[in-house]
Amino acid sequence: MPHADIPARYLRMPHVEKGMQVGLFGGSFNPPHAGHLLVADIALRKLRLDQLWWMVTPGNPLKSTRELAPLAARIALSEKLAVDPRIKVTAFEAAHRLRFSADTIDLVKSRNPGVDFVWIMGADSLRDFHRWERWRHIAKSIPIAVIDRPGATLAFLSSVMAKAFDHARMDEADAGRLARTRPPAWTFIHGPRSSLSSTALRAAARKARQEKPPA
């Protein structure tokens, strides 16, 4: 049975009620870290969200899976980190065999009429957004909140997506109403930034293993 090692509650979409504002925050979280939590906290506050779905993906189609930890392990680490009750750790994409964010968004919206969803991503993802499958469809399907990340602050000026949808950019001061705004609509949110990255954490762990003396 696929994903038999994962509790069933993580393979279902979190429960929501009509009228809620819900953020969709997806990633490999390999591993999850304080930088991810900072993005989630900023999104909850600035976007006035009732919930934030911390979506642990089976894998990023644009990234290598060579060092990808098991899904169950990434879920467990995310749960330890994301203690705010408004954050719902979920891996429903695995149960539905979803690989692309566009398909995830279509499914979520079709299953939850009356709920206002907003897509959340770090500014580092904005730089490569035009490489995502059906990226224009995503931008036209759901409001997008881009949260500042170290080294990516200027992505909102230079990225292909930012230029293509410049007309749809909302002022950061209006972020609280983004979820209820008809797409295309997006905003760039500045704030505290964490220099942590999953790539750096994996590299540090790999180095520590290599330097560990034999028992």
The per-residue pLDDT for range 88-110, each reduced to its tens digit, is 999 999 999 999 999 999 999 99
Q: Is residue 123 very low, low, confident or very high in pLDDT (cuts 50, 70, 90)?
A: confident
Q: Which H or E run contains 21?
A: strand 21-27
Residue 189 has pLDDT above 70, yes or no: yes
Could you give the count of Cα atoms lying within 13 Å of 16 in the half-sphere of its Cβ?
A: 27
pLDDT score recorded for residue 212: 60
Q: Which H or E run contains 36?
A: helix 34-46
173: CB partners within 8 A, 6+ apart: none
107-111, 114-118, 143-147, 210-214: least confident range: 210-214
Q: Hey, what amino acid is at 68?
A: L
- pTM, rounded to two decimals: 0.88
Average pLDDT, the chain: 88
Residue 83 has pLDDT above 50, yes or no: yes
Q: Give the number of other Cβ atoms within 10 Å of residue 167's Cβ.
A: 6
**C-alpha to C-alpha distance for 114 and 21, rounded to whole angstroms:** 10
pLDDT score recorded for residue 180: 98
Helices 71-81 and 34-46 meet at what angle, rounded to 10? 60
CATH class for the region spanning 8-211 = alpha beta
**Pair of tokens at residue 1:** 């049975």
**Pair of tokens at residue 18:** 């009509």
Residue 13 has pLDDT above 90, yes or no: yes
